[in-house]
Structure 1
Amino acid sequence: MLIGLIINSGDTNQVTNASPKISSQLTISSEDVERSPSFASDEPVASVAETVAPSVVRIDTATGTGSGIIYDENGSVVTNAHVVLGADTVEIQLADGTRATGKVLGSDPAVDIAIVQIEGNLNFRKATFATLDTIRVGQLAVAIGSPFGLEQSVTAGIVSAVNRAVPT
């Protein structure tokens, strides 16, 4: 699951063309870049991880393990279709260690996405997602999950494209 944000340390960065024939300079200041107030820090990946971690769940099936993220207050979880492939129910472990059963509501293997509903009357902390109109190429993207059962693993990269058609 990816969370997008804008990185800006607040410093002014200058890019100068090193060619002796072309003399130009581009100055970018912190006023030119939108800054996300909830992740305004010198450690944006750590800030995202701390904010989103309570919404990340571990998903166990008869054939393996994976992760998902709570996206509403009712305990709906978005995960990858390959994580729940062939399962009708799964075991869910919330970030606080609480375990519950989840029912697979549906999946689309063509785009590798699935929805699982956590059963039970529990308190769920939903994640906040960026919207397509706020995500830009080059923004930091953070992935948090449980690959191979290694809970709360975090990695970061950049958004390489938005709204791109993927052949299926």
Structure 2
Amino acid sequence: MKDRPLPVAHKMSASLGAFLLAALSLPLGGCGLHPLYAGGESGPAATGLRSIEVAPIPQRSGWLTRNALVDRLGGEHPGATYRLEVELDDTLTGFGIRGDAATTRERRTLRARYRLVDRASGAVLVDATAGSDEGIDVVSSEYATVAAEQSAAERLSQIVADQIVGRIARIMTVTPPRP
């Protein structure tokens, strides 16, 4: 088969496509995106998270959430620069009522209001909320229903801890902790 020259219109559209691709990729370099955990253990996010102490949180869901937070922050940090204070609202609501007035479905909701406080000055650096919810089937076995409620509390505490640490890590990369 003999090579034929491409039509002029095809050459122009290929050149235009390459030009548009190059032009559109230029703004991406200056958008300010960078990896959250850049620098590894010595990066601003990791260093900032290691400087946080988690205050005790009451109730079983508080214990679960505090443990999840401590795990994500790299352990206990007594004498840390910052203190994370968390207030939880853990609710279990029944709905899906049958004809005999029995509940067939529940919704477990875990909401957290948290504050990151500079221990030296008492200044509140972050005051925000996090939360999640999960549906639970109510079955004829009371044991199975209680187990499902407890499993939901464990999963929700993990989700809420992830939300809190993610938000604080982003803040630590913008405003690194003081030395």
More helix by share: 2
TM-score band w.r.t. shorter chain: under 0.3
Q: So what's the TM-score if we normalise by structure 2?
A: 0.24
Q: So what's the TM-score if we normalise by structure 1?
A: 0.25
Whose relative contact order is higher, 1 or 2, with alpha carbons under 8 Å and at least 6 apart?
A: 1
Larger of the two Rg values belongs to structure: 2
